[in-house]
Amino acid sequence: MSFHEYGKFDALGLAQAIAKKKVSTHEVMDEAIARAEALNTKLNAIIFKAYDEARSAARTKTQKGPFAGVPMLLKDMRANVRGWPNRSGSRYVPAAPSTFESTLVTRCKAVGLIPLGKTNVPEFGILPTTECKLYGPATIRGTSHTRRVARRAVPLLRSPPGSFRSRMRPMAAARSAFPPRPADW
């Protein structure tokens, strides 16, 4: 797989290419990071970068599951990763590192996904557009358009449930991929 083909693959396609050894996990991660950096200068979308941690995870090749080695971005809300800040787009929430990992992140990692950072959000997710004062506005407004642009960098984004129609299909897909366990209720 040459890297100009990277954008043609969805998350499952990349996972299959990695499993068939057409491309290595660290090559996919390096390309995702390069694309994320190139797009972020225009979007102001990625507000926390854990690129070294993601590269390290990609090189260890310990991921298992249907999405083994596929990079992803998390929203800066309710997606806690131990050691990463989680500010929900608010100046009033301190930038202290999280002391725990949320169930969402645990399940994403369990199916082989590798988080490489966090994305900008409206303050506490209240508004439908990302114009928070903490990180500044996302340049391209509109959830569905921003997601399409961001998918050029990584094939899978995960955001907490919301009421927008553009999120309904991804939410349904996530629920079937990560079904709730009785202990979580």
* pLDDT score for 156: 59
Lowest mean pLDDT among 1-10, 61-70, 108-117: 1-10
164-184, pLDDT tens digit by residue? Answer: 444 444 444 544 444 444 544
**Residue range 43-55: average pLDDT?**
90
Q: What is the mean pLDDT of the chain?
A: 77
Q: Of all helices (H) and strands (E), which one includes residue 167?
A: helix 165-177
Q: What's the topology of domain 3-178?
A: Amidase signature (AS) enzymes (3.90.1300)
Lowest mean pLDDT among 8-17, 39-48, 81-90, 145-154: 145-154
Quick one: which of 40, 13, 171 has its CA closest to 116? 40
Sheet holding 157-158, edge to edge: 46-49, 114-119, 71-75, 157-158
* pLDDT score for 84: 92
Measured in degrees and rounded to the nearest 5, phi and psi for residue 129 equal -120, 150
- CA dist 2 → 7, 23, 31, 41, 156 (Å): 10, 8, 10, 24, 20
